[in-house]
């Protein structure tokens, strides 16, 4: 068992390991293409995890859903462009973040900053609840920083 799979399986998120679907690893080429697309390098620990497995799916609302996001889901989901409140700021801030975990059909998202913005630096772990979206809010008031590392995101 690889390092990141062992970390995940030791958490409360994996009470029944058979429910968790570890996707096949990303290739170096896929990661480099993604980095080129976002204009930033991925943190070493995230890269290492993606080379072990490219996301984890587990049951949510009666279906398999991404839990730890792979390369195909790491950008802000498209539906936020058509949200019922203005999302211009969120869309702009999200160009600097790769999202690595979701909960409750993308209601809550955790991500890692890959390009500095406002008072956030590369490597900061951020999270948000979609109920807090408001175009009159500052990034530092919107995103919370309760976790310090990718490992904490997986274990939380």
Query: How long is the chain?
Result: 156
C-beta separation of 154 from 68 below 8 A:
yes
The tokens describing 103, both together, are 């909960």
Structure confidence at residue 118 (pLDDT): 93
Look at residue 9 in the predicted model and tell me its pLDDT: 79
Cα angle 13-95-5, degrees, rounded to a multiple of 5: 25
- The Cα–Cα gap between 103 and 113 comes to 19
In this prediction, residue 111 carries a pLDDT of 93
What is the CATH code for 3-155? Answer: 3.40.1580.10
Can you tell me the distance from the alpha carbon of 42 to that of 64, in angstroms, rounded to the nearest whole number? Answer: 26
Count CA atoms closer than 13 A to 20's CA, side-chain side: 20
**pLDDT at site 86:** 75
Domain ranges of the chain: 3-155
Per-residue confidence in pLDDT tens, the chain, 156 aa: 789 888 887 776 666 666 778 899 999 999 999 999 999 999 999 999 999 999 988 767 666 677 888 898 888 877 777 777 778 888 899 999 999 988 887 888 899 999 999 999 999 999 988 888 777 788 888 888 888 888 888 777
Q: pLDDT value at position 21?
A: 84
Going by C-alpha positions, the residue among 71, 72, 70, 88 that lies closest to residue 80 is 88
Helix, coil or strand: residue 59: strand
Q: How far is CA 18 from the centre of its chain?
A: 22
Write down the pLDDT at residue 46. 94
pLDDT of res. 100: 92
Q: How far is CA 100 from CA 70, 103, 135, 151, in A?
A: 7, 11, 23, 11
Residue 145 confidence (pLDDT): 85
State residue 53 phi and psi, 5-degree precision. -155, 145
What local confidence, expressed as pLDDT, does residue 18 receive?
67
């Amino acid at each position: 068992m690889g390092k990141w799979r062992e970390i995940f399986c030791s958490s409360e998120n994996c009470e029944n390991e058979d429910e968790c679907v570890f996707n096949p690893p990303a290739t170096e080429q896929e990661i480099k293409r993604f980095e080129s697309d976002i204009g930033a390098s991925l943190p070493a620990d995230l890269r290492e995890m993606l080379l072990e497995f490219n996301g984890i799916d587990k049951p949510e609302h009666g279906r398999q859903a991404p839990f730890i996001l792979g390369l195909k889901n790491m950008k802000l989901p498209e539906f936020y462009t058509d949200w019922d409140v203005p999302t211009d700021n969120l869309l702009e801030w999200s160009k600097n973040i790769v999202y690595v975990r979701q909960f409750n059909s993308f209601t809550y998202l955790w991500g890692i900053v890959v390009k500095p913005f406002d008072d956030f630096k590369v490597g900061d772990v951020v999270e948000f609840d979609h109920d807090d979206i408001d175009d009159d809010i500052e990034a530092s008031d919107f995103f919370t920083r309760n976790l310090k590392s990718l490992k904490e995101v997986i274990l939380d």
